[in-house]
Amino acid sequence: MKKLEELLEWGGTKRDIAFLVISGAALLASIAGLSPFPFDMAWIAIILCGIPIILEAVIGLVTAFDIKADVLVSIALIASVIIGEDFAAGEVAFIMQLGGLLEELTVAKARAGIEKLVHLTPRTARRITKSSISTASPASGTSVSTKEEIIPAEEVQVGDRLRVHPGETIPVDGVILTGETSVNQAVMTGESLPVDKGPGDEVSSGTFNQFGAFEMEAVKVGEDSSIQRMIRLVQSADAGKAKIVGIADRWATWIVLIALSAAALTWLVTGEIIRAVTILVVFCPCALVLATPTAIMAAIGNATKHGFLVREGDALERLATVSDITFDKTGTLTYGTPRVTAVKSFLPGISEAQLYRYTACSEQNSEHPLGKAIVQCYKKENGETPGSPEEFHMLPGRGVQAVAEGHAILAGNPELFREHGVLLPDSVKTAAASCLQDGCTVIYIAVDQQPAGFIALSDTLREDAASTIDEVIRTGVTPVLLTGDHENAARHIAEQLHISQVHADCLPEDKLKWIDEDQKNNRQVCMIGDGINDAPALRKAFVGIAMGGIGSDIAVDAADIALVNDDIRELPHLLRLAKRMMTTIRINLTFSMTLNFVAIILAITGILNPVVGALVHNAGSVLVIVNSAFLLTWKQRHAKMAEH
């Protein structure tokens, strides 16, 4: 049996296309009565398209007693050949294989997201060990020195002391012992801004140390580390997602039973076997098999023109039934990069423009993402590059100390000011508090040891985010904000977008848990995200949509659909298109079943013979394909007109 399965898989899609082309040409030659061989050319279609169907039916029946549509097709094929209706057998085999090919083309290939996650796992770690050294003088005894050795990350033990250099990935979960740094935690939390870390702060495996070397103690290693938990979350989420079964296969048992019963009764009552075979032929669910895949392929073609890459064949089928759509904030509803949103000066004689210029000049040599953002925003807003500082000192975890245009500048957090004896007045704190409440990050600035003001930075909304959310609500789907960012930032964004459901400070497992609980309450969830931290949720959700342009490869691999150009304005169109596709499928199914019913009555009364019955099915299949093709040019404005 295994050899039969391997034989069926030989060549894959290319083989199927070649067989269909050859079979189609053979059937046309059969209709024209042309044949260079001593047999009907329809036999080529029977052999190339019919035998794989029969083998599939046999394998399904023998291995799992699985009755699918191909069982009835096989019976009709064999019966048609027995009574000499070769063309009818070849035509039915051709149509069924065409339907099977269309279904194959809509099913995504195996994805490599988990492998890419595995590649994110740090390979090595710098372990610090102590060693005793004897001194030359007996009175001095021995001294203790430290040695750094590079070891495989999987050999790190709990309690080991590790050193992490700038630009390296943190190998295991742990706690910082010495050193100041800034860590990009987007892998785990999706936060748009890096987080300053110092002694006593926790760090996670897989996150990126941007600058500043530090030493840490390993707390969670191996399978317990954050990145390994992420891998297991993705695997478990994917395993729990059920696939939709084709309508023809779902009803196959009843179709086979009714067809065989009708054919047997007709033969017994009329004594004409040709009528019985005709019933089997017209009962073959050709149009029924084509009803769904043709509509899906046409809808996928439409979605592609609007910037969506549909990676799973049944993704649109599932999308049509979603009730909630969850958005990650950073990179999805926002641009994912910090921008200057406010400059406030409280020092007489120094304008906000001057304060901005002094700070941009001071940050010119900074490696911190916030410092770089200030410089980039200054260039963009003023059309000039700030000058270089005369002096510059980077203070990890605090800020920068510089001399710009002859002024001593401090730019950083309150700890920096305390260390340099600069007292922040209440007026500055009060003004900064409103920015912090809106989820901004505040950089305090002192000029010549005097508190001068602050610069606020935040991740900014996409220009089309508000209108997109409004359109999503109009489609009848509830938007939900599900983010790893802080509560204040999440609430501020949600208020601007009229999103009532907000869940902030979510780790990957939190997002996964929320989606799982919502779906257990019979609410199908669509998840839209862009980061590695979104991968488990994208897999778990009923439908996952990844931002393909700015999103990580792992997020795209975990999703069913990728938005290639990151233009979320097209999202409402996709939701409406999915619902329109399901309407088209229902029309196709109703038409094909009605056609079957009429054809069966005509076959029982003897009006149809096997060849004419096969041609009727052929015509029905063509009409189904034509109806589905209208989806290729269906546009969102049709849906808007329908609403009015």
- Residues annotated catalytic, as ranges: 328
What 565-568 contacts at long range (C-beta under 8 Å, 24+ apart), as own/partner pairs, is 565/307, 567/307, 567/464, 568/332, 568/333, 568/462, 568/464, 568/465, 568/468, 568/528
- Closest C-alpha among 196, 183, 130 to residue 160: 130
C-beta of residue 336 within 8 angstroms of C-beta of residue 328: no
Backbone angles phi, psi at 301, to 5 degrees: -60, -40
Strand positions, DSSP E, 51-109? none
CA 11 to chain centre: 29
C-beta of residue 182 within 8 angstroms of C-beta of residue 211: yes
Alpha carbon distance, N-terminus to C-terminus of the chain: 58
Q: For the beta carbon of residue 125, count every other beta carbon within 10 angstroms.
A: 26
Report DSSP letters for 226-283, one per residue: HHHHHHHHHHHHHHTPPPPPPHHHHTHHHHHHHHHHHHHHHHHHH--HHHHHHHHHHH
Identify the helix (H) or strand (E) that includes residue 512: helix 508-520
**What are the strands of the beta sheet with 208-211, ordered from one edge?**
195-197, 181-184, 208-211
Identify the helix (H) or strand (E) that includes residue 181: strand 181-184
C-beta of residue 480 within 8 angstroms of C-beta of residue 527: no
C-beta of residue 280 within 8 angstroms of C-beta of residue 72: yes
Identify the helix (H) or strand (E) that includes residue 540: helix 535-540
Helix (H, G, I), strand (E, B) or coil at 530: coil
Q: How large is the greatest C-alpha to C-alpha distance in the chain, in angstroms?
A: 118
